[in-house]
Amino acid sequence: MKVFMMGKEGPLVAALRTPIRISDGVVVKNMKEADVILAFSHREIENLWNRHPNKKFVVMIDIGGEKSKHQLPANVEEIFVVSAGLELVGLLGKLANSKKISTPSAPNRPPAPKGAPRVLVFDDTRKNIESAEQTVPFEYDLVTAMGYDEAMELLSKFSFDVVLTDLLTPMSSEGIIPDSFLLGKLVPYGLLILIEALAKGTKEVAIVTDIEGHCRDPFSAAIRHFIGEAVESGKTRLRFIQAPLRADGSKDWGKVLAG
């Protein structure tokens, strides 16, 4: 297993090299090469874990710290610093045997025609972004974002003809106190993206969500009332859409655009 350590070189980082070596692991200097990323805070991996679903992220919990009280993303684990050596050996051994870690490859899109309408797709799930690359017609200039901060920055810098956004996406640490940040906790940022796109004069904005997939979330259940609705606001058409799904469960953005 190839392991990348995000912390600065010091006694703890040096000590972790031994269990990695015992597990037949190799420490690499380039994160892109790594199968496993060791971090020393949740914030370090905030914008990484959902971009690299096939990598395992391991967060070290300091002495006196506690593990998260909510469910972490599937590719994130926590281990205590005091037992890091033993836990790391077990974890790396399990991952090496599972053979589940691989590098995904997304298809490339040809350049969009000059003057093509620009569409922003915001979704935190890798397979939904890959689906956008495959299903959005090539006559569109496709731009994608997987994080709320990234999507807001794109909206501030560029104009879009269409904005398609997921409803619930992971919490951003921007502007909140450290103790309030919960890695992977889902927040209805899609509504804020909708408001920002509306303020920018985007021609069409849609919240595209899988209501059934979030049936335990009270906010998703409440927004079911608006599914299928289309509202005209100035020059903008607002839509709330139950995501059409492909055979692999990913969203079919091409069908959304055709609707």
For 118-258, CATH gives 3.40.50.2300
180 touches 213 (CB < 8 A): no
Compute the residue count for the chain: 259
The reported pLDDT for the residue numbered 16 is 86
Q: CA-based diameter of the chain, in Å?
A: 64
Domain boundaries, the chain: 2-98, 118-258
Q: 87 pLDDT exceeds 80?
A: yes
DSSP 245: B
Considering the chain, what is the average pLDDT of its residues? Answer: 86
The reported pLDDT for the residue numbered 107 is 44
pLDDT > 70 in the chain, percent: 94
- Element spanning 186, H or E: strand 186-187
Helix-strand-coil percent breakdown of the chain, rounded to 5? 35, 20, 45
What is the arithmetic mean of pLDDT over 231-250? 91
CB-CB neighbours of 26 under 10 Å: 13
Q: 105 pLDDT exceeds 60?
A: no
What is the arithmetic mean of pLDDT over 82-95? 82
The reported pLDDT for the residue numbered 200 is 93
Q: 136 pLDDT exceeds 60?
A: yes
The reported pLDDT for the residue numbered 213 is 62
Nearest-angstrom CA–CA distance, 84 and 255: 48
The reported pLDDT for the residue numbered 179 is 76
What is the arithmetic mean of pLDDT over 37-52? 90
Q: 81 pLDDT exceeds 80?
A: yes
Comparing 58-67, 97-106, 249-258, the range with the smallest average pLDDT is 97-106
Phi/psi at 86 (5° precision)? -65, -45
Nearest-angstrom CA–CA distance, 26 and 4: 9
**How buried is 185 (Cβ within 10 angstroms: 0-12 exposed, 13-18 middle, 19+ buried)?**
middle
| Superfamily of segment(s) 2-98 | Response regulator (3.40.50.2300)
For the chain, state the CA radius of gyration: 21
What confidence tens digit (pLDDT) does each residue in 155-165 have? 999 999 999 99
Please determine whether the domains at 2-98 and 118-258 fall in the same fold group of CATH. yes
What confidence tens digit (pLDDT) does each residue in 170-225 have? 998 887 777 788 888 889 999 999 999 999 999 999 999 987 766 667 777 787 77
pLDDT band at 103 (very low <50, low <70, confident <90, very high): very low
The reported pLDDT for the residue numbered 108 is 60
What is the arithmetic mean of pLDDT over 101-128? 76
Instruction: Give the residue from 94, 92, 98 showing the smallest Cα distance to 22.
Output: 92
The reported pLDDT for the residue numbered 86 is 83
Q: 138 pLDDT exceeds 80?
A: yes
Bridge partners, residue 165, by sequence: 122, 207
